[in-house]
Amino acid sequence: MLTKPPAPRNPLDRLTLAGLAWGEGTYARLAAPIGAAAFALYILLTAFTAWVLPDTNWDMLPYLAVAEEGTYPDPQALHDYAYSTVKAGVSAGDYAALTDDGGGFRSHMTSNAADFHSLLGMYRIKFLYAEILSTLSSVMSPVEAMRIVSVFSVLLFGAITLWWLRSEGALALAPVVAAVLIMADFGEAARASTPDLLCSALFLAGLYAYVRGREVATAILLFLAFMARPDNIVFLAIFAVLLIAYRQKAWGALAGFAASFVAYFAISHWAHHPGWWPHLWFSSIEQHYNMNNFHPAFSVTAYLRAFATSLLRAVSMNSWVGVSVLALAGWYTASRAGFRLDRRGGILFAALVLGVLAKFTVFPIHDTRIYFPNLIPPFLLLVGPLMALWSSLGHGERRVGLHVIPGDKP
């Protein structure tokens, strides 16, 4: 039979239950400010970590080089500048790791300015990041400029996320969003001296503007996100197709795509980008030492091998696949309960999910940072339906918890 759980007799049990009840009641009353404070603390700790414990990665060298090409037009002088700048800005151990891998790629680039210079087209295309570094480097150390950009990107991303949650009346879910950020390797992206998090912050701001119907801001911010990482053109193309197919009025997003589409070809030509297949070959098949006039014949076998290898690594070594599945599970749960996204939000959610799949298909690389811009917005879109679901459960019939005594029949 069913019966109420027996009242605790042990004083320690009663004290524990009283403490839990007090904690539950306190959090229920102060969920929004507690959630906002916890999330803000997490963002501040991440920004602090990005400044004091930055990740020293090899990409720092070409990014610093493209930022000062105008000052050092000679490849050897530019090479010397990039390496000496990084040497002055990182520890001796970190510099050794960047320049000596026992005769491999890094060792070769340390001693060969021409080959190093041939790689810059793949970095020069991140135009906005390079220009920001160039501007900041005139008033501070170039390595510190990279850290400043990372810290700013963390704070901007956190501020936009909190503002989005506040506008949805969902600050109580801020700790959950922080947990998703941890799973999505937000801290790793923050510590990296790359344009990924800057792109993500601008991208998130653009999507928030779209959700709120701020068309001018949508166009500007999505275009700026593209200028930080031009591979965002994949998402923008899918988003534009869905908006047109479903006849959703959103001229800001369409204008952002149109401007990015035109700029993509102009920047690719200006940057002397090697092209899709040579770049994919370098990133996912084999690191070629000199990208000048490197035009390998397209190979279906090589592409499929790169696709399979990257997929295996993504599933076993990275988090973006799991985070994407979690977002889909949240969408499915809310929809099954009758709390669905509105038309505008639903189109964006679909574009974000399809954008991840399309980006991996077009350029199969396993790193989570490549897909990070698309990982967090789906959860922010879902906070409205999930808060409505939570509210409906809270206002439903409250039932006394019962338990089944083993061996009894109901």
> Would you tell me the crossing angle of helices 196-211 and 368-375 to the nearest 10 degrees?
20
Q: Can you tell me the mean pLDDT for 205-221?
A: 97
Residue 294's contacts (CB-CB under 8 Å, 6 or more residues apart) are 274, 278, 281, 288
Higher pLDDT, 14 or 156: 156
Q: Read off the pLDDT band of 25 (50, 70, 90).
A: low
Q: Which amino acid is at 82?
A: A
Q: What is the pLDDT of residue 359?
A: 96
SS3 percent helix, strand, coil of the chain, rounded to 5, is 75, 0, 25
Higher pLDDT, 402 or 238: 238
CA nearest 174: which of 351, 36, 28, 271? 36
| CA 71 – CA 94 distance, rounded (Å) | 26
Please give the DSSP secondary-structure letter assigned to residue 192. B
| CA 209 – CA 169 distance, rounded (Å) | 17
CA nearest 118: which of 269, 288, 290? 290
Out of 8-12, 100-104, 121-125, 400-404, give the one with best mean pLDDT: 121-125
Quick check: 3 pLDDT over 70? no
Q: Read off the pLDDT band of 5 (50, 70, 90).
A: low
Q: What is the pLDDT of residue 23?
A: 63
Contact in structure between 206 and 218 (CB atoms under 8 Å): yes
Going 324 to 326 to 328 to 331, the CA torsion angle's sign is negative
- Residue 69's H or E segment, with its range, is none
- As a three-state string, the secondary structure of 54-92 is CECCCCHHHHHHHHCCCCCCCHHHHHHHHHHHHHHHCCH
Neighbour-count burial of 272, counting CB atoms closer than 10 A to its CB (0-12 exposed, 13-18 middle, 19+ buried): middle
> 140-199: per-residue pLDDT in tens?
999 999 999 999 999 999 999 999 999 999 999 999 999 999 999 999 999 999 999 999
| CA 282 – CA 291 distance, rounded (Å) | 9
| CA 333 – CA 79 distance, rounded (Å) | 53
Rg (CA), the chain: 25
Higher pLDDT, 224 or 339: 224
User: Can you tell me whether residue 211 is helix, strand or coil?
Assistant: helix
